[in-house]
């Protein structure tokens, strides 16, 4: 494909374009490119010479949104309007996150279901996708400012353990920020690319990537064969990182000046000062043997040795993870060719020393550990741009492939740029009780509503035995073979009924059409995602109304008249909000109905379980 891009804002042609690499991190995010002259990857610097943009968003008065260092200043002073660690929430339901027992200072909507989480800021509700898109938008602006050109294409990295939903959420965030996400790549793969591994076709090697960031740790074992990366195993702890180093250090300082845990929890500003000092001390101790500072007339000193024994239990945990990752990959320590260090916290010499001792080899650490992932993403971007001639380019799907779901939404199974051959599958269920058939309509394209995409085929899976809604398990598999032919199979797992169809997605599709479909998805991203979120909220709300009505009907004798009438008005309000097609209003009304039904739902369930037990003989 020709390397000519159209500037979306102005409609003019742009001679040359740069595809950027983006590390969208839990703590920090950044952008890197391949320097047009030196051909080396470099991280983009801001006017104030900083590379890292803290992944923090602050919502001020009058919807004023700030991202980065400026937003960080509000973490303490305006916690409920300051969002951090949003990456942890990507593609997650409330049930996924609540069990972690880690509270966030902002409001994650608790609707006790498997629906995707939303974050409430004032009267508005945001999805993690929308929040991540704000960070990406900021990165895009900064890059455009520095490079003095339009940026429309990127590669974004995600942890190797991210599932399909989390990857799709990251893609959507990119799209919403006005970026075409050419590819989502694994962070350990990116780090290896930054060191030049896997960019030639003739090598085969085993790489361990150890990534210790601000709040997360993971280690991955990769095998590279002929330029293709395989993640053999990944292990780690999504609640372990440099912030924990700060915490143990702050506690240590507090003890030294005779403050108990209770005193510290009351004395918030002192706790804050100690935490900041702890981070400063930690960083200093990465290059010097001791650190001294004054606090309330007391001089405190911490040596590197003391620091190391404080963090030892934390580092031990990461080493255990390395052992587990090796075990899962069925690779022995000795077989590992290279150990790559990633993440700001691997600057701590003790961390490097322990990892190197464990693997019995020196570690690779000469590329800046907090830039290495973004630099690798830039290398990948350059390969996709066709600039890196030595590298093998695989056949890929030019547009996403998926099926229609409730409300006419496009559910992508094979995202665009998937390797060919490849396959993907997902489970669906029925909406109505006793539903005996399910229609499977296959579409191609990047828009959120199927009506804007290209319809490829449609078939029906019939003969599903009568079951309550939600019980059938319809497994849909997309398999695209080396010739680009797509086979779609639907299989109801409980009954075994199945059906399949074959299509040629590329048939009759020109490059120009692909290009214009991509363009349309970017131009309409904002509106598309808005409509999508309204449809999703309405679908959920309708299901909730249905469930509530069924429940009231079934347990009528255990519910008081007041509860019934409160629920009725809750339902009416929710129905009105659905008609109003306003996402925030629907979510607010859903929350309200939840609050009304929750108290009696629990009580009634207890009674019902009691009755059921009475009637049964054991």
Binding site for Mg ion (CB under 5 A): 25, 213
Closest CB to ligand ADP among residues 74, 84 = 84
Strand partners, 233: 221
- Of the ranges 22-30, 96-104, 128-136, 161-169, which one interacts with ligand ADP (CB under 6 A)? 22-30
How far apart are alpha carbons 389 and 384 in whole angstroms?
A: 10
CB of 283 to ligand ADP, least distance (A): 4
Please give the radius of gyration of the chain, using alpha carbons only, rounded to the nearest integer. Answer: 27
Give 62 or 366: the residue with its C-beta nearer to Mg ion. 366
Beta-carbon-side half-sphere exposure of residue 419 (alpha carbons within 13 Å): 10
By CB under 6 A, tell whether 347 contacts ligand ADP.
Answer: yes
Rounded CA-CA distance 235/318 in Å is: 9
Interface map 296-335 toward ligand ADP (x if CB under 6 A): ----------------------------------------
Task: Locate 70 and state its tokens.
Answer: 């400026």
Please state, in angstroms and rounded to a whole number, the distance separating the CA atoms of residues 373 and 364.
Answer: 14
114 in active site: no
Count of all residues that appear for the chain in the document: 618
Closest CA to 346 of 358, 363, 359, 361: 363
Q: At what angle do helices 242-256 and 268-284 cross, to 10 degrees?
A: 120
Distance CA 380, CA 594 (A): 46
Please, which residue, 227 or 369, has the CB nearer to ligand ADP? 369
How far the first Cα of the chain sits from its last, in Å, is 71
The listed partner (ligand ADP, Mg ion, none) that binds 214, CB under 5 to 8 Å by sort, is ligand ADP
In DSSP terms, 489 is beta-bridged to 477, 500
- The residue assigned the tokens 């400063």 is 280
Choose one: 25-33, 39-47, 291-299, 390-398; the region binding ligand ADP (CB under 6 A): 25-33
What ranges make up the beta strands (E) of 390-453?
401-405, 409-414, 422-428, 438-444
Q: Does 539 bind ligand ADP (CB under 6 A)?
A: no
Q: Of the residues 172, 180, 211, 218, which is catalytic?
A: 211
The verdict on whether 23 is a catalytic residue reads yes
- Nearest-5° Cα angle at 398, 393 to 403: 135
Report the SS3 class of residue 461.
strand
Smallest separation (angstroms) from ligand ADP to the CB of 46: 15
Residue closest to 581 by CA, chosen among 551, 515, 536 = 536
Residue at token pair 């240590």:
252
Question: Rule CB under 6 A: which of 28-47 touch ligand ADP?
Answer: 28
Stretch that binds ligand ADP, among 21-29, 121-129, 157-165, 169-177 (CB under 6 A): 21-29
Residue in 21, 68, 174, 343 binding ligand ADP, rule: CB under 6 A: 343
Q: Which is nearer to ligand ADP, 303 or 506 (CB)?
A: 303
Among 66, 152, 170, 345, binds ligand ADP (CB under 6 A): 345
Minimum distance from CB of 252 to ligand ADP (Å)?
16
Backbone φ and ψ for 299, nearest 5 degrees, come out as -95, 130
Catalytic residue among 138, 180, 187, 365: 187
Contacts of residue 528, defined as CB under 8 A and 6 or more positions apart, other chains included, come to: 447, 448, 449, 452, 521
Minimum Å distance from CB 248 to ligand ADP?
12
Q: List the structure tokens of 540.
A: 């959920």
Q: The tokens of 274 are what?
A: 């100690």
Query: What are the structure tokens assigned to 241, written together?
Result: 């990182």
Q: Is 344 in the site for ligand ADP (CB under 6 A)?
A: yes
Q: Which of the residues 278 through 297 are near ligand ADP (CB under 6 A)?
A: 279, 282-283, 286
- Give the one entry of Mg ion, ligand ADP, none that residue 348 binds, where binding means its C-beta sits below a cut-off of 5 to 8 angstroms depending on kind: ligand ADP
CB of 327 to Mg ion, least distance (A): 24
Question: Does residue number 133 form part of the binding site for ligand ADP (CB under 6 A)?
Answer: no
242 touches which of ligand ADP, Mg ion, none (CB within 5 to 8 A by kind)? ligand ADP
Q: Is 213 an interacting residue with respect to ligand ADP (CB under 6 A)?
A: yes
Binding mask 241-270 for ligand ADP (x = CB under 6 A): xxx---------------------------
Judging by beta carbons within 10 Å of its beta carbon (0-12, 13-18, 19+), is residue 48 exposed, middle or buried? exposed
Helix (H) or strand (E) holding 351: helix 349-359
User: Which of 21, 22, 27, 277 lies at the binding interface for ligand ADP (CB under 6 A)?
Assistant: 27
Contact call for residue 21 and ligand ADP (CB under 6 A): no
Lookup: tokens for 527: 């509106």
Instruction: Output the six-digit token pair for 355.
Output: 């990892």
Nearest distance, CB of residue 188 and ligand ADP, angstroms = 12
98 as an active site residue: the answer is no
Instruction: Based on the residue annotation, tell me whether 583 is a catalytic residue of this protein.
Output: no
Residue 344, binding choice from ligand ADP, Mg ion, none, Cβ under 5 to 8 Å by partner class: ligand ADP
CB of 316 to Mg ion, least distance (A): 21
Nearer to Mg ion, 254 or 375 (CB): 375
User: What is the helix (H) or strand (E) element at residue 586, kind and residue range?
Assistant: helix 583-615
The nearer residue to Mg ion, 55 or 150, going by C-beta atoms, is 55
Query: Which of Mg ion, ligand ADP, none sits in contact with 488, Cβ below 5 to 8 A by type?
Result: none
Using the minimum distance from each CB to ligand ADP, give the nearer residue, 314 or 589. Answer: 314
Q: Which residues of 95-129 are buried (b: 16+ CB within 10 A; e: fewer)?
A: eebeeeeeebebebbebeeebbbbbbbeeebbbbb
Question: Contact between 352 and ligand ADP (CB under 6 A)?
Answer: no
- Could you give the residue numbers annotated as active site? 23, 87, 187, 211
Site for ligand ADP, rule CB under 6 A: 25-28, 213-216, 241-243, 279, 282-283, 286, 343-345, 347-348, 370
């Amino acid at each position: 494909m020709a390397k000519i891009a159209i500037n979306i804002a102005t409609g003019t042609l742009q001679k040359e374009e740069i595809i950027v690499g983006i590390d969208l991190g839990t703590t920090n995010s950044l952008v890197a490119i391949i320097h047009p002259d030196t051909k080396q990857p470099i991280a983009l610097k801001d006017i104030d010479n900083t590379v890292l943009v803290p992944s923090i968003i602050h919502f001020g008065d009058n919807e004023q949104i700030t991202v980065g260092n400026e937003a960080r200043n509000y973490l303490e002073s305006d916690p409920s309007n300051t969002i951090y660690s949003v990456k942890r929430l990507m593609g997650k339901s409330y049930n996924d996150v609540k069990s972690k027992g880690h509270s966030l200072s902002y409001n994650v909507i608790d609707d006790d279901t498997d629906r995707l989480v939303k974050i409430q800021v004032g009267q508005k509700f945001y999805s993690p996708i929308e929040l991540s898109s704000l960070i990406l938008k900021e990165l895009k602006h900064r890059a455009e400012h520095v490079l003095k050109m339009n940026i429309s294409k990127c590669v974004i990295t995600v942890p190797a353990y991210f599932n399909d939903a989390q990857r799709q959420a990251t893609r959507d965030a990119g799209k919403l920020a006005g970026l075409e996400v050419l590819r989502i790549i694994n962070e350990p793969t990116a780090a290896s690319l930054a060191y030049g591994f896997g960019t030639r076709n003739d090598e085969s090697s085993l790489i361990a990537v150890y990534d210790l960031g601000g709040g997360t740790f993971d280690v991955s074992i990769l095998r590279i064969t002929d330029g293709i990366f395989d993640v053999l195993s990944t292990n780690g702890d999504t609640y372990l990182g440099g912030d924990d180093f700060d915490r143990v250090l702050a506690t240590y300082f507090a003890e030294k000046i005779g403050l108990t845990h209770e005193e510290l929890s009351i004395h918030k500003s002192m706790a804050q000062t100690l935490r900041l000092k702890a981070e400063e001390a930690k960083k200093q101790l990465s290059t010097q043997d001791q650190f001294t500072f004054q606090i309330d007339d007391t001089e405190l000193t911490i040596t590197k040795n003391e620091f190391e024994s404080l963090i030892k239990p934390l580092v031990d945990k990461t080493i255990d993870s390395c052992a587990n990752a090796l075990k899962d990959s069925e690779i022995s320590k000795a077989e590992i060719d290279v150990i790559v260090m990633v993440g700001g916290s691997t600057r701590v010499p003790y961390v490097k020393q322990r990892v190197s001792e464990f693997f019995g080899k020196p570690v690779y650490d000469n590329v800046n550990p907090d830039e290495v992932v973004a630099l690798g993403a830039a290398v990948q971007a350059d390969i996709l741009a066709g600039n890196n001639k030595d590298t093998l380019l695989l056949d890929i799907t030019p547009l996403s492939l998926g099926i229609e779901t409730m409300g006419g939404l496009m559910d992508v199974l094979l995202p665009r740029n998937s390797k060919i051959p490849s396959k993907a599958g997902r489970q669906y269920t029925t909406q109505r009780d006793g539903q005996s058939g399910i229609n499977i309509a296959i579409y191609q394209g990047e828009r959120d509503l199927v009506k804007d995409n290209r319809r490829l085929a449609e078939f029906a899976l019939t003969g599903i035995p009568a079951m309550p809604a939600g019980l059938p398990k319809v497994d849909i598999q997309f398999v695209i073979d080396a010739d680009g032919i797509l086979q779609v199979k639907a299989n109801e797992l409980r009954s075994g009924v199945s059906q399949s169809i074959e299509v040629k997605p590329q048939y009759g599709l020109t490059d120009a059409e692909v290009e214009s479909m991509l363009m349309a998805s970017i131009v309409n991203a904002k509106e598309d995602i808005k409509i999508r979120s309204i449809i999703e909220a309405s679908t959920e709300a309708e299901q909730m109304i249905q469930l509530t009505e069924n429940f009231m009907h079934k347990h009528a004798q255990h519910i008081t008249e007041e509860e019934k009438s409160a629920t009725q008005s809750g339902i009416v309000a929710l129905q009105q909000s659905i008609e109003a097609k306003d996402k925030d209003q629907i979510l607010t009304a859903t929350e309200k109905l939840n609050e009304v039904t929750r108290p009696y739902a629990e009580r009634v369930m207890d009674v019902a379980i009691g009755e059921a037990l009475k009637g049964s003989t054991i």
